[in-house]
């Protein structure tokens, strides 16, 4: 289910999933991010730690105010580094435009406050401003209440982690050059709805490796972990093909695990016995920990070569565009 386990900023869409920077909370089940609020008015005189005023709504492409040199008091990150990050995050959207308005020192050594104006060329969206804090390691930022990857290649570490540890059933290519990892919960209605997009991705990107990782949200869905344990055993006993048959049947009914196992061509008694073993429970726990380590705060989420996108909340055309753009960034020919 698309849930806020804590406050989830809609960076997943702005940087997309997902997966995710700005100080804008995602609306549950929404297809588009909420508007960023206007920044407070800048006081005149010396450089201010407050954001410059956001530009007014325009009927055409926004004309951002000229940057004020007094609002660039920090040496790190540089404008070039921020711009590279924003291109990696937003470059899939040819209509999105932005301007770096401030890079400010804070009272914490090495932590800088970055303020960016954002709008779109068509003028259909109201321009606004958002801010985030860049951390001293040069690889992370804080936006809202969470930490996100930063840099010109912000998803590289996540990509490496997934290539090493995403061990769920898969379809498509054995090669991990273009890897799409779905974190989902079998009792989640939004995950069920997202499967149509996953099928389209499998058709449109036959060279991709599309992996399913269990992420049961037990506090919300008490039967989800049992379903995940069955899924692990179906895969163990019948392989990835049996798993996807089981998954389709489980999502379709959102219940009836024995029936789903039978449709996958396996013995429900054997699968149930396997599901009760400590090894199976450990496999599910390992998948949950992987999601948590990657800051996956909702389901369904798709990691596109490490880039987090809330697959249930993005129109398919946008999702496809993001996959194509991330592949291009990673030097993958389609």
List pLDDT tens digits, range 237-282.
999 999 999 999 999 875 589 999 999 999 999 999 999 999 999 9
Q: Is-contact 302 12, C-beta < 8 A?
A: no
| pLDDT band of 178, cuts 50, 70, 90 | very high
DSSP state of 15: T
Give the distance between the most distant pair of CA atoms in the chain. Answer: 76
pLDDT, the chain, mean: 84
pLDDT of residue 38: 35
pLDDT value, residue 276 = 96
Look at domain 158-329 and name its CATH class: alpha beta
pLDDT at 113 over 60: yes
pLDDT at residue number 124: 77
pLDDT exceeds cutoff 90 at 143: yes
The tokens of 39 are what?
């920044």
pLDDT for 62 equals 86
CA 316 to chain centre: 15
pLDDT in tens, 299-309: 999 999 999 99
Cis peptide before 127 (omega within 30 of 0): no
More confident residue, 223 or 72: 72
pLDDT tens digit string along 54-110?
555 545 778 899 999 999 999 999 999 999 999 999 999 999 999 999 999 999 999
Omega before 57 within 30 of 0, i.e. cis:
no
Q: Where in the chain is the domain with CATH 3.40.30.10?
A: 158-329
Residue 180 has pLDDT above 90, yes or no: yes
What's the rounded Cα separation, in Å, for the pair 30 and 34? 9
Contact 303, 156 (CB under 8 A): no
Q: What is the pTM assigned to this prediction?
A: 0.82
pLDDT number for residue 161: 98
- β-pair type (209-214, 301-304): unpaired
212-217-220-225 Cα dihedral, nearest 10 degrees: 80
319 by Cβ neighbours in 10 Å (0-12 / 13-18 / 19+) ranks as buried
Cβ-contact 96, 118 below 8 angstroms: yes
């Amino acid at each position: 289910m698309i849930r806020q386990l804590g406050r989830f900023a809609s960076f997943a869409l702005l940087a997309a999933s997902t997966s995710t920077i700005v100080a804008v909370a995602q609306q549950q089940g929404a297809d588009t991010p909420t508007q960023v609020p206007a920044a407070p008015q800048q006081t005149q005189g010396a450089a201010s730690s407050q954001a410059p005023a956001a530009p007014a709504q325009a009927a055409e492409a926004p004309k951002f105010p000229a940057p004020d040199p007094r609002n660039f008091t920090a040496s790190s990150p540089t404008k070039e580094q921020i711009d590279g990050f924003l291109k990696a995050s937003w470059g899939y959207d040819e209509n999105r435009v932005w301007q770096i308005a401030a890079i400010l020192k804070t009272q914490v050594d090495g932590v800088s406050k970055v303020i960016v104006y954002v709008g779109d060329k068509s003028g259909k969206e109201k321009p606004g401003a958002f801010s985030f804090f860049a951390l001293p390691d040069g690889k992370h930022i804080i936006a809202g209440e969470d930490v996100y990857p930063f840099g010109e290649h912000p998803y590289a570490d996540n990509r490496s982690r997934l290539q090493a540890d995403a061990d769920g059933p898969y379809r498509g290519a054995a090669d991990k050059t273009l890897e799409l990892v779905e974190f989902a919960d079998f009792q989640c209605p939004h995950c069920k709805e997202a499967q149509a997009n996953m099928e389209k991705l499998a058709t449109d990107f036959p060279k991709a490796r599309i992996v399913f990782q269990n992420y049961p949200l037990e506090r919300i869905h008490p039967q989800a972990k049992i379903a995940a344990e069955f899924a692990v055993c179906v895969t163990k006993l019948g392989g990835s093909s049996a798993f996807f048959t089981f998954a389709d049947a489980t999502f379709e009914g959102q219940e009836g695990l024995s029936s789903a196992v039978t449709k996958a061509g396996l013995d429900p008694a054997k699968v149930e016995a396997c599901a009760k073993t400590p090894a199976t429970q450990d496999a599910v726990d390992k998948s949950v920990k992987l999601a948590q380590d990657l800051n996956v705060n909702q389901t369904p989420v798709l990691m596109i070569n490490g880039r987090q996108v809330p697959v249930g909340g993005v129109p398919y055309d946008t999702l496809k565009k993001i996959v194509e753009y991330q592949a291009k960034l990673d030097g993958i020919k389609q």
